[in-house]
Amino acid sequence: MPRRLAILFLAIIVVIGALGAWNYFRPIPAVAATTSLHTQDTVPGAVPAIRWPSTGAAAMGASGLGLIASSGNEKPVAAASVTKVMTALVILGDKPLQPDQKGPSITITDADVQSYQAALANKESVVEVRAGEVLTEFELLEGLLIPSANNFAELLARWDAGSVDSFVASMNKKAGELDLTQTTFADASGASPATVSTPSDLMTLGMEAMKLEVFAQIVAMPQADLPVAGTVYNVDAVLGQSGIVGIKTGSGLAEGANFLFAATSQVDGHPVMLYGCVMSQPTLARAFAAAKVLLASMQASLHVRRVIARNQAVASYVTPWGGQADLLSTVDVDLVEWPGMILRQRLDSRPLVIDKPIDSGTPEGSEHVVLGDYSFDVPLVTGSALFPPGRLWRLTRINFL
């Protein structure tokens, strides 16, 4: 009997030893980070009551944030000369210029003069040209965007694409890339009533164009000097008022006057570019007045808020063996906000298998932030070191997963 007990005891010891060895050498479990931020928040404050124009339609937005609001009654109508913003965008995409460059020279032909004379006879907005005159790309863009020369739009289109039709195809392709779903271009100048858009689409277009330094430089100019035409003046009569730095007017067609505009502003001490577009206004003067009202509405209701601070703990790793390390933001995140908009955040981090020490400051994932057109990732690093489990924990852990 004692021999049997000894054998049983030995067997138990062997089994316990085997289980202990198996437990010790089992894989270390992966540890997932747990977020400490809300996945969704509403920007605080009452949703502002906007003073939209009494006629036509409008939209407004801000740099980074994108579209803030629209009047809700948008439908595609004639874009008129605001079309030239897309003309300039395509030209500068195909033949880029730096702010200190004038670009290639273009010699005016008899065909260009005939195009000018035909547009003049049709009472369109034009700038005089003469056969043999030499204009640079920069000067042609000045004539296009400042006095709004329809003949310069056609001249640039032929120069860039070989024909106006080919150039218009490029304009519509670019519209598709920018997701301007309510916009159709039928010409390069906007003289055709078949060229249509909405305030929201045109505002998106304006935001894209203003990313180009040369474009922003030209639309902010009150006047320009051209070889034959002499001094030409900006049709934007409110340039410099209410912070307005451009962009483009459009009028002369049956559906009324349009104004796509950008303005600089200080919001809670931060420089912010404001954007808007009004369409189908009775006159350009009414369009200018409506733009100023919308700018005042935006300035009163926009705020800049720090939604994540540098070194803020946005998540943490907690190990089963008692270790812990926060995930810290590496940057401050200041966002332009409009009351009632939804801020969304998502932690993107991989579960860690901590089989060797992980130092403090090690990059481990990101926090994805979305608000309006803001969509970016905030890099995260460990706030303290993480160490593998000790021998005792590995030997005595009781979970069997």
Catalytic residue set: 81, 84, 148
96's tokens:
């880029």
> Where would I find the H helices in 61-136?
84-94, 110-121
Distance CA 116, CA 137 (A): 18
Classify 219 as helix, strand or coil.
helix
Classify 133 as helix, strand or coil.
coil
Kind plus residue range of the DSSP H or E element containing 298: helix 284-301
Beta bridge partners of 325: 317
- How much helix, strand and coil, in percent to the nearest 5, is found in the chain? 35, 30, 40
Phi, psi at residue 187, to the nearest 5°? -155, 175
Distance CA 365, CA 367 (A): 7
Q: Are the C-beta atoms of 295 and 302 separated by less than 8 Å? A: no
Residue 1 amino acid letter: M
- Buried/exposed code over 271-298 (b: 16+ C-beta within 10 A; e: otherwise): ebbbbbbbbbbeebebbbbbbbbbbebb
Q: Are the C-beta atoms of 91 and 160 separated by less than 8 Å? A: yes
Alpha carbon 62 to chain centroid, angstroms: 9
